[in-house]
Chains A and B, each alone.
Chain A
Amino acid sequence: MRSTQWAVIGGGIVGAAIAYGLARAGEKPLLLDEGDVAHRAARGNLGNVWVQGKGAALPPYADLSRRAANDWAAFAEELEKVTDIDVHFRRPGAFFLCFSPEELEKRGAMMARLNDAATVKSRFEVLEGDELRRRLPAAGPALAGAIFSPDDGTANPLRLLRALIQGTVALGGEYLPCRRAENITFTGNGVEIATAMGSVRAERVVLAAGLGNARLAPLLGLDAPVRPVRGQILVTEKVRPFLDCGTNFVRQTVEGGCVFGESSEEAGFDEGTTLPVLRETAARAVAAFPLLRHVQVVRAWGALRIMSPDGAPIYQQTQDGRAFLVSVHSGVTLSSFHAGPLVETLMGEGFSTPAYHPFSPERFHVQAA
């Protein structure tokens, strides 16, 4: 039986970032992953390093996202040094596109309230339609305006996932695919994780299995009330650069393809696409950027977000510090945080420290509030 000090369950961006951070700190983590067929938010998402509007209902989440975005440039540089992989991080700022003056006003007011409540301040501007089109010439007449924040960025999630796993291995960790955690039990001083390819014993385990955390958490007395929320995304042929900034639902990759999507559906574990949603998504993308009308879509897919009841992260641990739980839907943005400060916390005082109290799942227990 394999045995190790740290096991991380889940080889998506969240688990791989934590394993990478542990390896960087000198540990020899085992990163247990499923096979090719798995729900992979890491491979399905848009690739925004996004700050705008996050934490509107939970200001500590705003602070977390803002710190993570501020740390991203150094994180991307370090990943490239370790792995030779450029994760295409750019931070030219991003526009939240609004189709009506009411939406623009409401969004602007929300951003102002959020900034008052947050400790880490974020810059933003409210741009009327004409000013938006002056700054972003490809923007169409259907747009009433946008909120611009220079604190938002973009990255390539596929390159990020590869860099995190490669980096974990380069720094002394191990990546073990085809090891879906079937069962986890407390044993001796640690835990035992049963997989179809044998069991693994670890002194400490981090659950970062995305939607799988809902099933695994109760095995260890933890609580991950996460549900799948489907998003549908389309990607176009590669075209010459016209959009160097991010937006809330259209991103042009460094290679030139445009990725767009913003749908949010309760569809269970169905990762499929539906014509009405794809049609609406394409229509809004073309309304925002009329030149997309001439651009061919080459692929579309559905992917499942890992959504908590309030959309904010869940961080929790067992009292004895043997098992930790990390459930977030914002794995790209928070990856710099997960690899850095969060790993320090795991190896140090744990999630019982006050900074993590707002992210305990106890906030969902009405009786306890």
Chain B
Amino acid sequence: MFRRLETGARGRVTVNVDGRPVEMEEGANLAAALLEAGFSPFRTTPASGAPREPYCMMGVCFDCLAIVDNVPNRQTCLERVRAGMTVEIQDGAAAVAKAEEEL
């Protein structure tokens, strides 16, 4: 379904996607790379639990949210692939875990 317009220009790096290592092109659009890797769904909605994937690919629809490097609700269409980054599904509303530990 997805065809890359430019190939081989950049190096390959490893990204941890839901606990498994996936090779991606460094600097690529993260949402696009995740789609190519078959990551699905990106998130489930807090309101109804419905599964979601990228829709607008330009930072508007907030449907491509995922947990990136332990930060919840990141818009993956606005992120680039970096070596060693981690991506997890955003399951419903975000936890505010760090703060809860402090309390």
> Do chains A and B interact in one complex?
yes
Return the CB mask of B69-103 against A: 1 if under 8 Å, else 0.
Answer: 00011000000000000000000111110111011
Residues of B within 8 A of A237 (CB): 72-73, 94
Closest Cβ neighbor of A258 among chain B residues: B96
User: Among B94, B98, B100, B103, which residue has its beta carbon within 8 angstroms of that of A238?
Assistant: B94
Whether a CB of chain B sits under 8 angstroms from the CB of A225 is no
Could you say which of A137, A239, A255, A298 contacts B96, with CB atoms under 8 Å apart?
A: A239
Q: Does A295 contact B (CB under 8 A)?
A: yes
Using CB atoms, name the residue of chain A closest to B102.
A290
A293 contacts chain B at the CB level, 8 A cutoff = yes
Q: How far is the CA of A58 from the CA of B46 in the complex (A)?
A: 42
How far is it, in angstroms, between the C-alpha of A242 and the C-alpha of B97 when the chains are bound? 11
Q: Contact flags (1/0) for A271-308 with B, using CB distance below 8 Å? A: 00000000000000000001111111010000000000
Decide yes or no whether B62 CB sits under 8 A from chain A: yes
- Chain A residues whose CB sits within 8 angstroms of the CB of B9 once the complex forms: none
Check if A295 sits within 8 Å of B96, measured CB to CB: yes
How far is A238 from B73 in the complex, measured between Cα atoms in Å?
9
Using a CB-CB cutoff of 8 Å, which residues 240-263 of chain A contact chain B? Answer: 240-242, 255-256
- Are A298 and B103 in contact, CB atoms less than 8 angstroms apart? no
The answer to whether B103 touches A291 (Cβ under 8 A) is: yes
B47 at the interface (CB under 8 A from A): yes
Q: How far is the CA of A138 from the CA of B102 in the complex (A)?
A: 10
Give the tally of cross-chain contacts (CB within 8 A).
Answer: 45
Contact among A240, A292, A293, A296 with B93 in the assembled complex (CB-CB below 8 Å):
A240
Q: Contact: B103 with A138, CB < 8 Å?
A: yes
Complex Cα–Cα for A292 and B96 (A)? 8
B46 CB contact (under 8 Å) in A137, A255, A293: A255
Neighbouring B residues of A238 by C-beta, 8 Å: 46, 73, 93-94
Q: Closest CB-CB distance, A208 to chain B, in whole Å? A: 31
Chain B residues within an 8 Å CB radius of A138: 103
The answer on a CB contact under 8 Å between A256 and B62 is no
C-alpha gap A240/B62 in the complex (Å): 18
Which of A137, A238, A256, A291 is most buried by chain B, counting CB atoms within 10 A of its CB? A238
Complex alpha-carbon distance, A292 and B93, angstroms: 14
Contacts of B92 in A (CB 8 A): 240
**Distance, CA A241 to CA B99, complexed state (A):** 13
Chain B: CB-nearest residue to A133: B103
Which residues on A sit within 8 Å (CB–CB) of B62? 298
Quick check: B103 and A239 within 8 Å, CB to CB?
no
A336 shortest CB reach to chain B, Å: 26
B46 engages A242 (CB within 8 Å): no
Shortest Cβ gap from B35 to chain A (Å): 22
Taking the nearest CB of chain A, how far is it from the CB of B87, in angstroms? 17
Given A237-B94, A238-B94, A291-B46 contact (CB < 8 Å): no
In the bound complex, how far is the Cα of B103 from the Cα of A293, in angstroms? 13
Residues of B within 8 A of A298 (CB): 62
For the complex, give the distance between the alpha carbons of A294 and B71 in Å: 9
Contact indicator B98/A294 (Cβ below 8 Å): yes
Instruction: Give CA–CA (A84, B102) in the complex, Å.
Output: 41
Say yes or no: B72 contacts A240, CB within 8 Å. Answer: no
Instruction: Give Cα A256–Cα B103 distance, bound, in whole angstroms.
Output: 20
Pair B94/A291 contact, Cβ less than 8 Å = no
Shortest Cβ gap from B44 to chain A (Å): 12
Cross-interface CB contact of B47 among A239, A255, A290, A292, cutoff 8 Å: A255
Could you tell me if A240 and B102 are in contact, using CB atoms closer than 8 angstroms? no
Question: In this complex, what residue of B is CB-closest to A293?
Answer: B99
Shortest Cβ gap from A286 to chain B (Å):
10
- A240 in contact with B73 given A255-B46, A256-B46, A298-B62 (CB within 8 Å): no
* List of B residues within 8 angstroms of A292 by Cβ: 96, 99
Tell me which residues across on chain A come within 8 A of B46, comparing CB atoms: 238, 255-256
Interchain CA distance A128-B93 in the complex, whole Å: 32
Assembly CA distance A274 to B78 (angstroms): 25
A255-B46, A255-B47, A256-B46 are contacts. A239–B95 as well, Cβ < 8 Å? yes
- Chain A positions within 8 Å of B, measured between CB atoms, are 137-138, 237-242, 255-256, 290-296, 298
16 A–B contacts, CB within 8 A, in A order: A137-B103, A138-B103, A237-B73, A238-B73, A239-B93, A239-B94, A240-B96, A242-B96, A256-B46, A256-B94, A290-B99, A292-B96, A294-B96, A295-B94, A295-B96, A296-B73
